[in-house]
């Protein structure tokens, strides 16, 4: 009888635990301050005239977050400060390295002055409690600081370079970076095993549409664990990119997978790893190249970690 009662109690307790519902929303306290390490590594392979070209890009950012205001409706205002930047780009044409912590490693290509100019720069952004990015300010000033340090007097070259920087640090690019770990929340309370799907249009050098499904797999010690699975398709309304006298249009599709660990109380993503794998074609047109289509594949791994 005692064994039967124990088993019955175990079944009841397990059942209650598995059906527990939680509200995954942002609810950080006012003046809360923490560091966030964002690491992105991309490998791009393009086949041009039967020649394979590989480009590797590694970007590390340490960013300080502070909750500067908390609205009655739950909206949160953040001040973010760029504390550390490490960027490495390796291609068949050139290699460029910048490391704010170890400046002796910096390439002598003028990029050090440009990236030094944004250290300590602050951005202001507002997020809803459901993680939607309502506004972001300070990017224009950051880009201006960077452009002031670009060497050379070729205005066309500087404009092209600015377009490249906007694809990494502009409003849309920053919204994409932040949105990867904020625009993820379900519209209702969820329990273990529940899934929900979010769609997003990612603008920038490569414009894509994502459909991502999140699954709550575990709740343990105040943390919520999510599995991430999604599809990536080309944006039919993409305008393409003008660079170096060429018009480039990307036609890529693929998948996104990963895991996330959220703080159950505040809803903030403490730890995440996301992998995007896409492949397809890039169409280049212009006076110098005519009209040329090349095969392209890209793998991007992004991790987020709060400390």
Backbone angles phi, psi at 19, to 5 degrees: -100, 5
CA distance 264 to 39: 23
Q: What is the pLDDT of residues 58-103, one digit of tens each?
A: 999 999 999 999 999 999 999 999 999 999 999 888 899 999 999 9
Residue 103's CATH number = 2.30.230
CA distance 92 to 88: 14
In a domain, residue 20? The reply is no
Give the per-residue pLDDT at 305: 96
Give the per-residue pLDDT at 93: 83
28 exposure class (CB count in 10 Å sphere: 0-12, 13-18, 19+): buried
In a domain, residue 169? The reply is yes
The tokens 């770990």 sit on which residue? Answer: 181
In a domain, residue 252? The reply is yes
Give the per-residue pLDDT at 156: 45
In sequence order, what E strands does 165-268 have?
Answer: 195-202, 208-220, 223-234, 241-243, 246-263
The answer on pLDDT for 188 being more than 50 is yes
Q: Count Cβ atoms below 10 Å from residue 30 Cβ, excluding itself.
A: 11
Return the C-alpha torsion angle 143, 33, 303, 218, nearest 10.
-150
Q: Which range, of 152-166, 211-225, 263-277, averages the lowest pLDDT?
A: 152-166
The answer on pLDDT for 18 being more than 90 is no
Predicted TM-score of the model (pTM): 0.84
Structure tokens belonging to residue 123? 């951005």
Give the per-residue pLDDT at 111: 81
- Per-residue DSSP letters for 149-176? T--S--HHHHHHHHHHHHHHHSHHHHHH
Residues whose CB falls within 8 Å of the CB of residue 69, separated by 6 or more in sequence, listed in order: 30, 76, 77
Q: What is the mean pLDDT of the chain?
A: 84
Number of domains present in the structure of the chain: 1
Given pLDDT bands bounded at 50, 70 and 90, which one contains residue 37? very high
The answer on pLDDT for 9 being more than 60 is no
In a domain, residue 113? The reply is yes
**Domain range for 73:** 29-306
Give the whole-number percent of the chain exceeding pLDDT 90.
52
The answer on pLDDT for 243 being more than 80 is no
- Per-residue DSSP letters for 34-99? EEEEEEEEEEEEEEETTEEEEEEEEEEEEEEEEEEEE-TTS-EEEEEEEEEEEEEEE-SS-EEEEE
8-state DSSP, 29: P
Give the per-residue pLDDT at 31: 96
């Amino acid at each position: 009888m005692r064994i039967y009662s124990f088993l019955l109690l175990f079944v009841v307790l397990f059942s209650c635990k598995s059906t527990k519902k939680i509200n995954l929303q942002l609810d950080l306290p006012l003046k809360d301050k923490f560091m966030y390490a964002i690491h992105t590594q991309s490998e791009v392979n393009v086949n041009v005239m039967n020649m394979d070209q590989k480009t590797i890009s590694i970007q590390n950012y340490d960013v300080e977050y502070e909750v500067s205001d908390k609205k009655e409706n739950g909206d949160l205002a953040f001040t973010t400060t760029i504390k550390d930047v490490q960027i490495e780009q390796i291609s068949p044409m050139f290699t460029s390295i910048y490391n704010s912590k170890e400046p002796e490693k910096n390439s002598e290509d003028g990029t050090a002055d440009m990236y030094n100019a944004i250290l300590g720069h602050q951005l202001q952004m507002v997020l809803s409690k459901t993680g939607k990015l309502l506004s972001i300010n300070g990017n224009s000033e950051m880009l201006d600081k960077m452009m002031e340090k670009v060497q050379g007097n070729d205005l066309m070259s500087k404009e092209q370079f600015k377009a490249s920087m906007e694809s990494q640090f502009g409003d849309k690019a920053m919204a994409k970076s932040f949105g990867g770990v904020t625009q993820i929340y379900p519209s209702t309370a969820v329990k273990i095993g529940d899934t929900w799907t979010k769609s997003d249009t990612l603008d920038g050098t490569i414009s894509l549409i994502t459909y991502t499904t999140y699954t709550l797999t575990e709740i343990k010690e105040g943390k919520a664990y999510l599995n991430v699975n999604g599809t990536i398709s080309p944006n039919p309304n993409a305008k393409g990119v003008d660079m170096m006298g060429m018009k480039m249009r990307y036609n890529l599709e693929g998948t996104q997978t990963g895991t996330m660990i959220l703080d159950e109380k505040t809803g903030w993503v403490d730890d995440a790893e996301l992998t995007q794998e896409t492949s397809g074609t890039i169409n280049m047109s212009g006076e110098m190249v005519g009209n040329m289509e090349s095969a392209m594949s890209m793998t991007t791994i992004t991790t987020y970690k709060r400390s």
